[in-house]
Amino acid sequence: MRVSPLKGARERRVRTGEVELCVAELGDPRRPTVILVHGYPDSKEVWSEVAERLAGHFGLHVVLYDVRGHGRSTAPRPLRGGFTLEKLTDDFLAVADAVSPDAPVHLVGHDWGSVQAWEFVTVRRTEGRIASFTSLSGPSLDHFGHWINSRLARPTPRRVGQLLGQGARSWYVYLLHTPVLPELAWRGPLGRRWPKILQRVEKVPAGDYPTRSLPRDAAHGAWLYRDNVRARLRRPRPDARAHAPVQLITPVNDAFLSERLYDDLEQWVPRLVRRTLPAQHWVPRTRPDRLADWIADFVTADGAGRPSPAATGPYADRFAGQLVLVTGAGSGIGRATALAFARAGARVVAVDRDAGAAARTAGLARPLGAREAWAETADVGDERAMEKLAERVAAEYGVVDVLVNNAGIGLSGSFFDHTTEDWRKVLDVNLWGVIHGCRLFGRQMAERGQGGHIVNTASAAAYQPSRALPAYSTSKAAVLMLSECLRAELAGQGIGVTAVCPGFVDTGITSTARFAGADAAEEERRRKRAARLYGLRGYPPEKVADAILRAVVRDAAVVPVTPEARLLHAMSRFTPRALRRLARVRPPL
């Protein structure tokens, strides 16, 4: 056994038929074995960062091998007929027998690695050798064939649109079936430019990937398509059911594969867990952290193929394992939002200036399904405190995937009763708190280059003027415009920005709101009256939290939440004069 170019890996040669496969291993062979299968036009090094995390952080036995004709493995002679799914299955079984002769292995495949792994997990001769399968960006050719046939048999407009859409995404498949041309392109200009194309289009970080063998790998790999695609799509196997639990991870921005390809997957996979990831095709390079977390979670799943955390939320497939930070999480909308993300299996950082309240939210999040939950204390209006928070979160938990700038305070009264200090306090929390969060955590998202989402809690007061809320409405209007500007700037980096605009929500903000120009007794009376009115309205913060998760999934720009917020938003667009008249009404406080 020799040292592999992969950091700390042990390398061996495994013979299968007429070829020798280059196999690399990391971690303790006594631990569960995970075999990672690469796609086209890659070699095993596409998995290097995922493999190091699985072996190092999770302590698993990780195996990577170069598919025949790729990387440091030898190629069959002749090439034609040497890449059939049957021969690729022989290769997999040879590797599995060499690295884990006495126990089934956990299988992970990306792109063509996933296509061939679907074969492994659905043929009878591998039954009992595979404990689980995680599929990334590569469908079963049999399932794909049945998917096409079902839409041709019942050609509704929606189904025809799905066929045409996937047909357009598969443009490269047609080219790879042409003789000689793909080989010339890969050994010529395309092979030289491919690393830059991946960096520019897919946002793949520069580094030691792709390897020097890329032109040869891509030229040989064209036979994966030629030997298998047309034959299987024309005559898909009728019994291609998975005999092991399957985790399907779908990058929602995959340029080559439609999400609709997997609509009918439950009929082929009795034990299926679905995940979605806001990423493009080459997720092993762009999101190795998230993949390693999900793979390790699935490897340690129970016998039914369910992840060990009890994530039950409606968006568990989207947010499970993601890092979500919520400010103002000690109560109200902030707490409800943190707990909603927890139910979806996210890792939650609950931030509040009240340390006890933040700790209580984190404590409530853990049993709901959060992979992990932490409490952090910070005053969002304090620039230095927020800088320290951002540094600490990045160092201890990682780069945030979803940021919810929710912290806010209320202030009511006449403009002339507002002091300069009143304005400063409201703007420090409601506006500067959002600015600090977006600047610090948003910059980390942008520098990571793997997308993300920012949610800023504005208010219906952002577009509804009021004689009683000059400072509060001004701060929320600024948050709304900031969100729109930032959304435009970050769109090209895959980072969404949403402004959430609730109306009257029954939260604790009324108990801490200030009333300018009122003495202590009058201020307390107004607080109690406001709390009573909001209570009678009875709109719970949990509904706002649900709207926030839905907005992130849909990448919505502006989200009025309550019925009155939606009405006022429509009036601001179509009948602004009526809103101005409404602003003159004295509030009942």
Give per-residue pLDDT as tens, 112-151: 999 999 999 999 999 999 999 999 999 999 999 999 999 9
406-449 tens-digit pLDDT:
999 888 888 998 899 999 999 999 999 999 999 999 999 998 87
Percentage of the chain exceeding pLDDT 90: 74
* Winning range, highest mean pLDDT, from 108-117, 159-168, 197-206, 410-419: 108-117
Provide the mean pLDDT of the chain. 90
Kind plus residue range of the DSSP H or E element containing 347:
strand 347-352
Does the pLDDT value for residue 519 go beyond 80? no
Task: Give whole-number Cα distances, 8 to 27, 62, 245, 346, 513, in Å.
Answer: 9, 12, 30, 31, 58
Match domain 316-583 to its CATH number in 3.40.50.300, 3.40.228.10, 3.40.50.720, 3.30.565.10. Answer: 3.40.50.720
Where does the pLDDT of residue 186 fall: very low under 50, low under 70, confident under 90, or very high at 90 and above? very high
Active site residue 539: no
Cα separation of 472 and 574, whole Å? 24
For CATH 3.40.50.1820, list the domain ranges present in the chain: 2-299
CATH superfamily for 2-299 is Alpha/Beta hydrolase fold, catalytic domain (3.40.50.1820)
Does the pLDDT value for residue 302 go beyond 50? no
- Could you write out the three-class secondary structure of 452-505? EEEEEECCHHHCCCCCCCHHHHHHHHHHHHHHHHHHHHHHHHCEEEEEEECCCC
Task: Name residue 496's beta-bridge partners.
Answer: 453
Where does the pLDDT of residue 299 fall: very low under 50, low under 70, confident under 90, or very high at 90 and above? very high
> Looking at residue 160, what is its pLDDT?
93
Name the catalytic one among 65, 315, 463, 472. 472
Range from 310-324, 385-399, 473-487 carrying the lowest mean pLDDT: 310-324
> Looking at residue 305, what is its pLDDT?
42
Does the pLDDT value for residue 90 go beyond 50? yes
> Looking at residue 187, what is its pLDDT?
94
For CATH 3.40.50.720, list the domain ranges present in the chain: 316-583
- Give the mean pLDDT of 399-412: 92
